[in-house]
Amino acid sequence: MIPFIKYLSGRKNNFLLDEHSNNNKTYYQNIFTHTQDCRQHIFDGIPCNDRCSFHSHSTLVHFIQSAKESICICTLTLQLRDVLNHLIKAHEEGLVIRLILDREMIVMDSQKLNNLNKAGIPIKTQKADGSYLHHKFCLIDHDNEELSKMFFGSMNITMQGMVKNFEHITLTNDKDIIHRFSEEFEELWNEFDLFSVKSIT
């Protein structure tokens, strides 16, 4: 039977990720965020209680930082500072980093995203046809059968999503799900345009 793991947040999240990394069982870990605005606790690194946003933030960042080979993110908007900083660090260490983001949100987040662009991280976006890129998923080491995992859900990778919205994300190493999302990522990657300041403005 495939385990289905459900927590609102809590200190158990990172423990579960570490536990999963030591076996080959398929897992599904759900994280639900609530409107308990604990952004200062995230900045301070000190949780106030088991439902503190610090735990969800820590779990998500830890999950992304566990990548060994590649990180592919497809989402409406990407603003979370710790994730942005890690993407640059991972790129400098030789990991393959690819991002697909919404065209309109790129304009709004241009300062943060330009730092990724300048670091040499490729960013693609949809054509200027009035559409929105509304996916929210991240593939980790998706070409490695043993290491591959991902998360998906309703939440953009932002502080707003982490501390002010009712959101959910599911973390899993389910190979069938990863394969399908990988196909979608590659299809969009081949179809969309590379981001540059000139192409947006």
DSSP string, 16-57: HHHHHTTS----EEEEEE-S---HHHHHHT--SSTT-HHHHH
pLDDT of residue 199: 55
pLDDT of residue 148: 97
pLDDT in tens, 127-164: 888 889 999 999 999 999 999 999 999 998 888 888 88
- What domains can be seen in the chain, in order of their start residue? 5-200 (3.30.870.10)
Distance CA 193, CA 201 (A): 14
Q: Are residues 192 and 125 in contact, defined by beta-carbon separation less than 8 angstroms?
A: yes
pLDDT of residue 72: 98
pLDDT in tens, 16-67: 454 455 457 999 999 988 766 787 777 777 788 777 778 888 899 999 999 9
Backbone angles phi, psi at 81, to 5 degrees: -55, -45
- 15 contact partners, CB below 8 Å, separation of at least 6: none
pTM (predicted TM-score): 0.85
